[in-house]
Structure 1
Amino acid sequence: MPVDPRTPVLVGVGQFTERIDDPDYRGMSAVELATEAARAALDDTGADANALAAAVDTVFGLRQFEISGPMPATLGKSNNYPRSVMKRLGGDPARVVLEPVGGQGPQKLVTEAGNAIVAGEADIVMIMGSEPGSTAKYFADRDDKPDFTETIEGQLEDRGHQIFSYIDEYTVQHGLTGAPVQYGLLDNARRARLGLGVDEYRHAMAELFAPMSKVAAKNPFSSSPVERSVQEIETVTDENRMICDPYPRYLVARDTVNQGAALVLMSAEAARRYGVPQEKWVFVHGHSDLAEQALLSRVDLGASPAAVHAAHEALRVAGVGVGDIATFDLYSCFPFPVFVICEALGLSGDDPRGLTLTGGLPYFGGPGNSYSVHGIAETVVQMRDQPGRFGFVGANGGIMSKYSVGVYSTEPVQWRSSRSAELTAQVAELPTVPVTKQPAGTGVIETYSVRYDWPVRTGIIVGRLDDGSRFMATTEDRDLVALMSDGDPLGAKIVVTATDNGNRAVLR
């Protein structure tokens, strides 16, 4: 079919991984990791990489963990991450953007870049992300720390970290700092809805994730290329220690990685002008970007209507069904986001198509906000190898707060719009649960997690009062923590008391 000259096409992908135990380990900065990936993406286009680098007019950068909140970067940082990378490549783009926190960001930026290209606001776009967390940890207690501080002049549209769109003073006060405890609440709420026991649910999580580790073991860009059995993943050991209930370590995204990835998108007109071979072109057939209700407002903490809508909407826009999809890469920081999409699309963990192309965040690696750049890159490679087939990428951000989906294929297609804004408005209008921030009296445990990663093992509770309102509390009470660690506290009756430092709970 004839393609409109302004149709966006994905024409280049690149990935890079550096491991601490590599013989040629260099201890690269976020800028250096992204530069390697971006250079690989430019080379992957099959066109003149230097000419393309100079022609890139728009760059979107994903935010590293170290600049995803108010804390300082351990080893220093660039004041303009995207422009630092482009300077190394010989580029000087007219516009560079630093995206807020959120693992949905890579797929959301593909949609944003596509819309900009269609509108004539951009012609050649680079999307990049990198994470030097493993190196930051390696040098944390050493005297020979590198200094990654870098100052570069030029325009930067910094959208801010926006971390407080996901958390607030109340949730932080009650221990919801860090993704494992946050998603622990969601997975335990899902377990409650399904009526499964603790061991039964852990086995289901291990069965879901074990096939991913097989993919990671064969991926040259994987941070931990080790195949894990179901038994290894579900059995708590010194190596596979509990992090936050219900997750032992092998069910938790591996965020201490040194990884970078990049994508190059351009108009069909620019692709022809720069001589990008047509076999490199991959089209975005469907896309969606939805936002969920605030965490404590959701009627069912074990569900995600926004993610379900996002999955179905992207398929609708693409005009294909689940049976037409040849590959999936589902965001897998923890089991919950994968379970949600599997339920929405009728997939199982042993689907012969697989649920990941990278190997999943606990095994391939979870480079902060930029993981799905890797997922999209792998999808593009697969689509080129399977012309005319379709690949599905699901990207999740926040506390299951935002979900973006892309459907890709080499089959030419004009850019299409989605109903994402309308669907997000529908999600916002769903019923909500009132929150009592300073409860007193009796209640029951609705969902929970246990923080094994704190000096004192602490229970984190979302509960319901007799009037149906929801509250949060923490506990170090020996009997209650024992029940939460070694038994099943769902539905247990508790007494909650408000203090100046948050709410406290004990067994009733």
Structure 2
Amino acid sequence: MAVDPRTPVLVGVGQFTERIDDPGYRGMSAVELATEAVRAALADTGVDPAAIAKAIETVYGLRQFEISGPMPATLGKSNNYPRSVMNRVGGDPARVVLEPVGGQGPQKLVTEAGAAIAAGEMDAAMVIGSEPGSTARYFADRDNRPDFTEHVDGQLEDRGHQIHQYFTEYTAKHGLTGAAVQYGLLDNARRSRLGLGVSAYRRLMAELFVPLSKVAAKNPFSSSPVERSVEEIVTVTDDNRMICDPYPRLLVARDQVNQGAAVIMMSVAAARRLGVPESKWVYLHGHSDLTEQPLLDRVDLGASPAAVLAAREALRVADIGVDDIATFDLYSCFPFPVFIVSEALGIDGADPRGLTVTGGLPYFGGPGNSYSLHAIAETVTQLRDRPGRFGFVGANGGTMSKYSVGVYSTRPAPWRADRSEQLNQQVSALPKVAVAERPDGAATIETYSVRYDWPTTTGIIIGRLDADNSRFLATTEDPELVGLMCDGDPLTAAIHVRPTEHGNRATLR
């Protein structure tokens, strides 16, 4: 088919991983990790890397954990991450952007760049990301810590970390300050809806994730290329300790990694002008970017209407069905997002196509906000070897707060708009649950988690007041209730909740 010269195509991808047990491990910075990935992406185009670097007009950077909140970067940082990287490869983009926090960011930015290219706003863009969590841990207690501080002049469109969109003073006061505890609440809510016991659900989660580890074991970019068994994952040991209920460590994203990724996108006209072979081109056939309701507003905490709509919308835009997909990568920070989107697609962990191309966040690695950039890079690589087939990438941010989807193929296709704005209005208009911030009285547990990662093992509760069924948050250190939460099943348990100056507290009744 004749392709509009403004059609965006992905033309270069790159990945880099530094493992702590590598002989040459040196504890690289965020800038250094991204630079290695960018060099790989430039070379991947099959054209002189210097020419491609000079042609890139816009660079979108994804935030590392160390710049994803108000706390300072302990080893120092660049004041202009994208330009620091581009300076090292000979590029001087007219515009650089630093994206807010969110694991949906990689796919959201590829879609944003594609729309801008299709509209004639630019001809060539790159998305970069890296995470130096391993470096931070390695140097934490050492005297010879490096200083990665770097000052670079030039334009920077910093969109702000926006971390506060994912929690409020009320949720933070009640322990919802980390991803594991928040997703624990969601997975236990889903378990409640399914009517499953604690051990049965943990085995279900392990069975879902075992095939991911098999992919990671064969991926040269994996941070932990080890194949796991169901028994390894479900059995709590010193090495596989409980993090937050219902997750032992092997069900949790592995964030202490050193990884980088980069994706280059340009118009068909620019790709032809620069001589990028058509065998490198991959088109974005379908896309969507949806936002879920705030956590406590959601009628069913074990569901995610926005993620389901995002998956279906991207397939609609691509004008294909699930059976047409050859590869999937479903964001797997914890089991919950994989369960939700695989169910929406009508697939499961036994699907011969698999649910990941990388190996998933607990095994391949969870490089902060940039994981799905690796998924996109790997999808592009695999689709080049399977011309005409389709790949699906699902990227998740926050507490199942934002979901972005991309559908890719080497098969030429025009740029198509999606209906994300209208669908977001539809999600926003869904019914909401009334919340009582200072509950007092008899109540039941709707869902829960347990924070084993705190000095004192603490129960985290979302409950419903018997008086009016309003929803509330509470914590507990009550031995009897914490014991039930750790060793039994507290779903629907009768409790008493009371407000205090430091948050709501619950006990059994």
Q: How does 1:94-113 map to 2 (within 5 A)?
A: 94-113=94-113
Secondary structure of the residue aligned to 1:96 is strand
Secondary structure at 1:446 match in 2 = strand
1:398 deviation in Å?
0.3
1:270 paired to 2:270: yes
Opposite residue 309 of structure 1, the aligned amino acid is L
1:468 deviates by 1.2
Superposed CA offset, 1:463-499 (max 9, x none): 0012011000000000000000000000001111101
For residues 19 and 190 of structure 1, what CA distance do their matches in structure 2 show? 35
Equivalences for residues 117-266 of structure 1 within 5 A: 117-266=117-266
Tell whether the 8 Å contact from 1:48 to 1:274 is kept in structure 2 after alignment. Answer: no
Is the counterpart of residue 484 in structure 1 residue 493 in structure 2? no
Aligned equivalents of 1:390, 1:51: Cα separation in 2: 30
Query: What amino acid is the match of 1:172?
Result: A
Query: In the alignment, is the contact (CA less than 8 A) between 1:180 and 1:244 conserved in 2?
Result: yes
Structure 1 partner of 2:410: 410
1:281 is aligned to: 281
Cα deviations by residue, 1:280-299 (Å, 9 ceiling, x for unpaired): 00000000000000000000
What's the TM-score, normalizing by structure 1? Answer: 1.00
Structure 2 partner of 1:372: 372
Q: Does 1:504 align with 2:497?
A: no
Query: Secondary structure of 2:126's match?
Result: strand
Query: 8 Å contact 1:387–1:410 — kept in the other structure?
Result: yes
CA distance in 1, matches of 2:323, 2:2: 27
Q: Distance in 1 between matches of 2:183 and 2:348?
A: 20
SS of 1:491's partner is coil
**4+ residue stretches of structure 1 with deviation over 2 A?**
none
- Unaligned 5+ segments in structure 1 are none
1:21 Cα offset (Å): 1.3
Mapped pair 1:32 → 2:45? no
Residue 294 of structure 2 is matched in structure 1 by: 294
Deviation per CA, 1:185-241, whole angstroms, max 9, x where unpaired?
Answer: 000000000000000000000000000000000100000000000110111111111
- Within 5 A, what are the aligned runs for 1:67-106? 67-106=67-106
1:330 matches 2:330: yes
- Paired amino acid for 1:260: G
Equivalents in 2 of 1:247, 1:23: separation in Å?
32
2:464 is paired with a residue whose SS is: strand
SS state at 1:31 partner: helix
Shift of 1:119: 1.2
Report how far residue 325 of structure 1 moved. Answer: 0.3
Residues 312-347 of structure 1, C-alpha deviations (whole Å, 9 max, x = no match): 000000000000000000000000000001110111
1:355 counterpart residue number: 355
* Structure 1 Cα separation of the partners of residues 160 and 192 of structure 2: 36
Cα shift readout 1:111-166 (whole Å, capped 9, x = no counterpart): 10001101111111010000000110110111100111000000000000001111
RMSD: 0.5
Confirm or deny that 1:313 pairs with 2:308: no
Q: Deviations over 1:421-441 (max 9, x none)?
A: 100100000000010000001
Give, in whole Å, the separation in 1 of the partners of 2:342 and 2:133. Answer: 30
Q: Would you say how many aligned residue pairs link Structure 1 and Structure 2?
A: 508
CA distance in 2, matches of 1:16, 1:180: 26
Please list the CA deviations of residues 67-94 of structure 1 after superposition, one character each: whole Å capped at 9, or x if unmatched: 1011111111000000100000111100
In 1, distance between residues paired with 2:343 and 2:470? Answer: 28
CA distance in 2, matches of 1:116, 1:251: 38
State the alpha-carbon separation in 2 of the partners of residues 236 and 27 from structure 1.
30
Q: Partners in 2 of 1:2 and 1:284 — Cα distance?
A: 16
Q: Secondary structure of the equivalent of 2:344?
A: helix
C-alpha displacement of 1:254: 0.1
Query: Which amino acid in structure 1 is aligned with residue 507 of structure 2?
Result: V
Partners of 1:377 and 1:412 in 2: CA distance: 18
Which amino acid counterpart does residue 300 of structure 2 have in structure 1?
D
Shift of 1:20: 1.2
Shift of 1:54: 1.1
Aligned residue type for 1:397: G
